[in-house]
Amino acid sequence: MFIAVISRDVPGGKVGFWPVAEQRQYVRNSRYHQRGDPYWSDLSCDGAFFCRTLDVDILPACEKHGIRILQMDNARPHIVNNLDASIAEVMARHPTVQLLLQPPQSPDLNPLEEGIFKVLVDKVELKNPTTRHELHEAVLQSWEELSERKIRGCIQHQTRVRRQIVDCRGGHRHIHMARITCSWCRYLTSTPSTPVTVTLSLKCVIIVVILLVLYTIALIMFLELRHSNIYHTPSIHKHQKLDSIYPSLVSAASSYGSFQQNAGDDHGSSSTQRYHYGIVIDCGSSGSRVYVYQWPTHSGNPNELLYITQLRETSGEPVVKKITPGLSTFASNPSAASKYLHPLLSYAAKNIPEVKHSETLLYILATAGMRVLPASAQASILEELQTSIPKYFKFVVAKNNFEVITGKQEGVYGWIAVNYILNKFAHGIEDHPLVVVDVSSQTGSVTPHIRRRTVGVIDMGGGSMQIAFEVTKSVKFDFTKEDLAKDLMAEFNLGCRSFDLDHNYQLYVSTFLGFGANSARRRYEEMLLNDGTNSSQGFDKLSPVPDPCLPLGLLYTSATNTQQKTFFIGLGDYALCRRNLFPLLNVTVPCQKKPCSMNGIYQSDINFHNSEFYGFSEFWYSMEDVYRIGGHYNADIFDKISIKHCSTRWAKLEEWFLKKLYPKSDILRLKLQCFKAAWMSLVLHDGLKFPRTYRHFYSTQKIDGKDVQWTLGALIHRTRYLPLREIEQMSPHQKGHASNWNFNHSYHFYYEYLIGEIQRHLFAIVTIQ
């Protein structure tokens, strides 16, 4: 996938800027004025903002997806004027990505995107699908309608386009690009007024010939595979890979509206019969939420997981509803617990076809609030729910479907949800880094296994923080001395077969109570008050406690656990703030098993050279609400912005706030931003030991526009055995297909990989001798 940054002159001498959103491919060419919507609608920006966005958003996105070339349009109306030095400085900070200026026709060099799949998208559009199921059927039907002649014509057209590119002339406007050459254009040290005629050396000609031969082989493989059972197996699950195999098709189809099936429109229809439903109620400390999910009938392929998605209302909004207070408040009156949940269950029932109620799975899973109750109180509430709910609702209610889950389970479920949405549990090699994992086989031996690399998850809330990531190397424990460390490991299988190596995972999961942002602030304030030489300091506005973690000049009023008001005056010193916070990490506590992170807790080794982590909640708020740099994390940039923010006088920050320059922040967030930024950075680097040079950490609130909830992971894990029914019901002929699935699947994705490599090399930089 290539990222194109398209710029052009607009009235006022500013630059219109369209960066590419993650996992989307926007293409600009001579036929289509602009593919896709602008990232910021109708936004004009000056050159400084252009460079900052390039530095903070676009180049980190390139690094995240392993993109080595950033292509910019070199057409005359699109050239960024007077930014040569600034762009060179930005590129120097991202040495793994090279900037390549291309003629305006270069985006057309994608035979799949602008050829075959453009034809496919047009065919799908004519069928006007309105639901996910109709879209699936339209894609299959349109794909079968494509003739070999049409496909050959699309690819042959690209040969003519490539020839035109080779014959083109042009010049770089950026002197620092003098060292960069490409296989069809050579721009050396030319100036805008001195075009250079393209000359291809013998080496380049040989490379082009080899690539064309490979391309021909790939075409033959493509035509053969088109008639193989991989395209004809009646499986709705092969569309799960549309996001990775056919990015433009999914992007174009998304314009039709929501993919989700509207249950209320299809009651009793054949498409509804093929869908199954599950309900998960998250009973937290402050309230309970219901989430409704759906999935089509499993294909019977033992290598595939269920394709579970969140059910949506006719408005397109997800089926979610919250009530208060928390379930734990009924400890003294368990008989009222089922009535309390009635509004959530009725809401879910309304959105699920009535004919499916008797087979809809219901899970009621309680977390933090219920954990603190005595075991007897927990049992009473769960027993009441188990007895009363079946009287009013026909949902499937098994005894183990209602339980209080541990923090470790919640962490595992959250990790599963994130990686499921990122498509890390699927097979294939396209657009996904790989990793070698030590997996325990059926015989108990450890076997190296290659599969997609999963991502780690760090979630910092108000009261606690949790980290979960896959352990790729087997770890041995001394059961007599290291039992606490072993308890931090979780091994499970997401496949329906216990010996499924592709879906066998070992996680490290650890929860740090008191390390959430709000709890850390309370501990910090108590430390400042206890360290004061004057016992009365801090309890009077006239003698506030100096606090380097608050903006310069801010008089901040707080309340400790004694509800006594305390006063702090901001010093605005970010570096001193981090030093003052360091003791709260408790990194000097004796360690049961090395290495340890905080509180003497064992932390499994992290391969910082081949890993990726996502930070949620406070990691996102600290980077985005005030700084507006949410996404790719760069320690140097984050600290530089934090130093400037903390040292800015509060009067100026408040003035900017009143002018609505911080639209995502409230006043309390603005006051505590300096503290929370320092705490977030300190925990990440000094507590969890992430190197400051680590470039694969991303803060996020949503993934692919979807809220990530641990409830999805819980449903994926608890329904993992459901496909067994479809597998057993497969006919002998289908089982024969399934037995050959691994070969066909690998062959299919090898073709995908080969096509991708050919496209990548056609755009690659080749040094012409």
The answer to whether 709 is a known ligand-binding residue is no
Q: At what angle do helices 650-658 and 667-682 cross, to 10 degrees?
A: 120
Q: Name residue 365's beta-bridge partners.
A: 282, 403
Q: On the CB side of 660, how many CA atoms lie within 13 Å of its CA?
A: 0
Which residues in 66-194 belong to E strands, given as ranges?
69-73, 98-102
538 is in an annotated binding site: no
Distance separating alpha carbons of residues 721 and 498, to the nearest angstrom: 10
- Phi, then psi, of 41 in degrees rounded to 5: -65, 130
Q: Was 466 annotated as part of a binding site?
A: yes
Which amino acid is located at 148 in the chain?
A: E
Q: Where are the beta strands (DSSP E) in 685-726?
A: 697-699, 702-703, 706-707
How do beta strands 320-323 and 288-296 pair? antiparallel
Q: Indicate which residue of 113, 304, 384, 410 is catalytic.
A: 410
Residue 502 sits at φ, ψ, to 5 deg, of: -65, -25
Cα–Cα distance for residue pair 10/14, rounded to 1 Å = 6
Q: Is 376 helix (H, G, I), strand (E, B) or coil?
A: helix
Output the six-digit token pair for 253.
Answer: 């189809």
Integer Rg of the chain from CA? 29
| Rounded distance between C-alpha atoms, residue 264 and residue 261, angstroms | 9
Nearest to 607, CA basis, from 731, 492, 462, 508: 508
Distance CA 660, CA 654 (A): 10
CA distance linking residue 31 with residue 37, whole number of Å = 16
Active site residue 317: no
* CA–CA–CA angle 416, 418, 423 (5° rounding): 90
Cis status, amide bond into 595, omega within 30 of 0: yes
3-state SS class at 336: helix
Residue 369 annotated as lining a ligand binding site = no
464-470: strand order across its sheet: 489-493, 504-513, 464-470, 456-460, 613-617, 697-699
| Inter-residue contact 1 to 69 (CB < 8 Å) | no
Residue type, 429: I
Q: Residue 445 burial (CB < 10 Å; 0-12/13-18/19+)?
A: exposed
Is 463 part of any known ligand binding site?
A: yes
Alpha helices in 2-145 (DSSP H): 47-53, 59-64, 84-92, 117-127, 132-145
- Say which residues have a Cβ less than 8 Å from residue 523's Cβ, sequence separation at least 6: 514, 584
700 and 615 in contact (C-beta within 8 Å)? Answer: yes
Task: Specify whether the backbone of 611 is left (phi greater than 0), alpha (psi in -120 to 50) or beta.
Answer: beta
Helix H or strand E encompassing 217: helix 202-225
Q: Could you give the CA distance from residue 137 to residue 115 in angstroms, rounded to a whole number?
A: 21
- In terms of Cβ atoms closer than 10 Å to its own Cβ (0-12, 13-18, 19+), residue 619 is buried
- The answer to whether the CB of 166 falls within 8 A of the CB of 198 is yes
Catalytic positions are 410
Q: Residues forming the annotated binding site for ATP?
A: 462-466
Q: Residues forming the annotated binding site?
A: 462-466
